[in-house]
Amino acid sequence: MDRLRQLKVVVAVEEEGSLVAAGRKLNLSLPSISRILGELEQSLGVVLFERSARRCRATEAGRVLVHRARHLLADYDEILQVVGGRWNEPQGQIRMTAPLTFGRMHVLPAVCHFLKEHPLIDVGLELSDGIIDLQAEDFDLGVRIGPVDAPSLIAKRIGYVHWWALASPSYLSRHGVPQEPNDLSRHHWIQHSSLRSPGPLSLHGSSPRVLDMRLIVNDATSALEAARVDLGITSALSYQAAEDVAEGKLVRVLVDFEPEPLPVSLVYPETRRTVQRLRRLVDFLTKELRKVL
């Protein structure tokens, strides 16, 4: 019984969503895929996929097996590379995640550059402002903004970003420039929830008790757009607003009261630290992202 072949089938069925598509990917007939999967389920004594006419959905046991199988197959490929003397040519897939805006602006261009230099490596990049459990969601690498408190993860700090309070020159000319956080009670505030925005109450020094929340949105891009059209004051991370500040569209205020800077780290599970293709990407991203932090 070819266990590696069985694991490849399981991973393919999960990724493709059906037996037919998995067979197409592996160049196997539908009867062959069904037989291989059935033999594995029988030997394990569990059902790995709930099958319908068009779709296959992994059971809890199936998800656990797929998670483990992906890493096992990747490690197997690297073992063959070492034995075959091709250690300098890492290959395989890396699944990674990064914050939405930072990912679009800086991580994606760096990853594209990396892929051009490493034609045998593939990257699956998911951009999200949510905190993703790398191991539970089967990710190899993550870019984190903020503290990393997970003993099972290795965190490589690559820089810092800062929270800025910002408003348009036109808004400030009409409403005045706040000199301390208490002054915000006389201003319009634009609040957003992405990346746990601290808002005005996290500024150093005294904070206003009453705020005029003119607009609440769920992402920094929208908040910055509202600030550019003179609606009020908002907060954003330095990389999100750097271009607006450089072009004079927005002005930093309350600079002396800004919160502590946030660390930016590359994080990956302890179990993946020896994977050559991951080490290559971590080293590359460290060098490239430090240029913009």
**272 secondary structure, DSSP code:** G
Number of other CB atoms surrounding residue 136 within 10 Å:
9
pLDDT, tens only, 162-212: 999 999 999 999 999 999 988 998 999 999 876 555 555 566 555 555 678
Q: Measured over all CA atoms, what is the biggest interatomic distance in the chain, rounded to whole angstroms?
A: 77
Domains of the chain: total? 3
- The enclosing domain of 205 has a CATH number of 3.40.190.10
Residue 270 and residue 146 share a domain: yes
Extract the runs of DSSP E, i.e. beta strands, from 136-289: 141-145, 153-161, 163-167, 188-192, 212-217, 233-237, 251-253, 262-269
Q: Are 198 and 234 in contact (CB under 8 A)?
A: no
Residue-number span of the structural domain to which 250 is assigned: 163-260
Residues 150 and 271 both lie in one domain:
yes
Same domain? 143 vs 276: yes
Among 224, 216, 232, 223, CA closest to 172: 232
**Successive 10-residue mean pLDDT values, the chain, 293 residues:** 86 91 91 92 93 87 88 76 64 92 95 95 92 86 92 93 96 96 91 66 57 87 96 94 96 93 94 85 97 91
Q: Are residues 188 and 255 in the same domain?
A: yes
CA distance 127 to 122: 16
Residue 51 burial class via C-beta count within 10 angstroms: exposed 0-12, middle 13-18, buried 19 and up: middle
Same domain? 121 vs 239: no
Tokens of 283: 């080293």
Do 239 and 177 share a structural domain? yes
Answer yes or no: do 168 and 128 share one domain: no
Residue 188 sits in the same domain as residue 270 = no
- Kindly state whether residues 239 and 282 are assigned to the same domain: no
Tell me, yes or no, if the pTM score tops 0.95.
no
Distance between CA atoms of 207 and 216, rounded to whole angstroms? 19
